[in-house]
Structure 1
Amino acid sequence: MKHQLIIFDFDGTLADTMPVFLRLFDEAADKYHFKRLDHEQRHLLRGLDARQIMALHKIPLWKVPMIASFMRSRMADRLDEIRLFPGVDDMLRVLSQRGVRLALVSSNSLSNVVATLGPDNEALFSHFECGASLFGKLPKVRKVLAAAGVAPEHTLMVGDEIRDAKVAAEAGADFGAVAWGYNLIETLMAERPARVFHEIGELALGG
């Protein structure tokens, strides 16, 4: 088995947080005075990376930590609206039974992540690194790799965004692109992922 460790992203990869995220984005726009989303252009937005979104909405970098903190806090108030994607429970259990080690790195808060996963799924993960800044996943991925004692070439990072692909490349890990998340799969293909997953069940077949 090539991949001994799988590091999952959370939002848009394991959990369907997009509907809540879109509403909170507009709340944050009103609070921190940047441009609201044009929901009619949502498909086009899914082809952009985080820096392009920031430029489009005129969000200065210095505001990003405040915005992220606000959105994590507001998401905690709406956890009853967030669900794991169908099939995630079974997929995680199968991977764990096959001996694949599971970790999670997210910009979301640990409390939001574990509340959504539930205790049975939480127990399947050996490492959590949450609360990453928008462009701060790489140090957390490296921390997971060091703690797990698994070489990057035996690690698969699974995510739904361009920034996940770039972090995987910087860390020396393979990237697995999912087709059901934020960025369009056609956009993620440009990052040359090692694996492409069109359905959640496919993740259980390949570590």
Structure 2
Amino acid sequence: MITHVVFDFDGTLANSLNVAIALYNEIAEKKRYGKMTADNLAELRGMTVRERCKRLGVPLYMLPWVGVRVGRGYRSAVQTIEFNEGIPELLKELRGRGLELLILSTNDEENIRAVLKRHSAEEWVKDLYCGGGIFGKARRLRALMKRTGLRPEQLVYVGDEHRDVVACKEVGVKVIAVRWGADTEALLKQAGPDYIAEHPAEIAECLGHWSTPAPAPAVH
């Protein structure tokens, strides 16, 4: 039975992709990497992280450093970051059903807590699991389950990236991919999520179906 919903943060809950792109472009200018622009963004959204790095000339070994620099810049932009439309209503509904809500993100805990506090949403989220490498979500999902004693069938992960889906498949956790985040629907489909949501309300509906016990067989 599903008891916990684990959310990605940036792109999934928070409308912060423009902030992340602007911070990345500042780094790209200094390091002479390719920039994300209106002309290439649609193309980049259809690529995996590794493919984007190749397209922009960012060495994979530099990703942790880039992530740290973006995280530092993010702190100064916290006051501008809003939830995606429909997210507050979704979180309230899921908590009302008795589901526990967690966040697992590569962003810094300090940044996420600042956004939650600004929107008076701290009480909706039971715990945060933050940091780690950009390709380390499977490892962190395993660590989360070990720490909490939860089994894979008790969790659903909600994320906006191809790598989120791949990580969940690796550890046997159901995953809902969202269309309003970083990656295109076509790219998400390649990874094979259990469901793709177009609007936050669909997440609640999907979880309702998954949480409803199958009807008992008729007795004759």
Name the TM-score, length of structure 2 as normaliser: 0.88
What is the root-mean-square deviation of aligned Cα atoms in Å? 1.5
1:14 and 2:8 are equivalent in the alignment: no
Q: Which runs of 5+ in 2 are unaligned?
A: 208-220
The answer as to whether partners of 2:162 and 2:191 remain within 8 angstroms in 1 is: yes
Cα deviations across residues 2-45 of structure 1 (Å, max 9, x unaligned)?
Answer: 42221110010000111111111110112333222243021111
Aligned length: 206
The answer as to whether partners of 2:156 and 2:174 remain within 8 angstroms in 1 is: yes
Which residue in the other structure is 1:151 paired with?
151
The answer as to whether partners of 1:138 and 1:167 remain within 8 angstroms in 2 is: yes
The answer as to whether partners of 1:159 and 1:177 remain within 8 angstroms in 2 is: yes
CA distance in structure 2 between the aligned counterparts of 1:177 and 1:77, rounded to whole angstroms:
29
Which residue in the other structure is 1:172 paired with?
172
1:55 and 2:71 are equivalent in the alignment: no
Cα deviations across residues 62-113 of structure 1 (Å, max 9, x unaligned)?
Answer: 2111111100000111112211112211211111111212111101111111
**Further displaced range: 15-24 or 131-140:** 131-140
CA 1:81–1:120: 2 relative to 1, 3 Å: closer
Q: Which runs of 5+ in 1 are unaligned?
A: none
Cα deviations across residues 121-151 of structure 1 (Å, max 9, x unaligned)?
Answer: 2222222111222112222211222233221
Q: Percent identity?
A: 28
1:135 aligned counterpart, secondary structure: coil
Which residue in the other structure is 2:45 paired with?
46
The answer as to whether partners of 2:50 and 2:60 remain within 8 angstroms in 1 is: no
Which residue in the other structure is 1:204 paired with?
204
Cα deviations across residues 154-206 of structure 1 (Å, max 9, x unaligned)?
Answer: 31111000000011111110110101001011221222211221101222223
2:92 aligned counterpart, secondary structure: helix
1:188 and 2:178 are equivalent in the alignment: no
1:30 aligned counterpart, secondary structure: helix
Name the TM-score, length of structure 1 as normaliser: 0.93
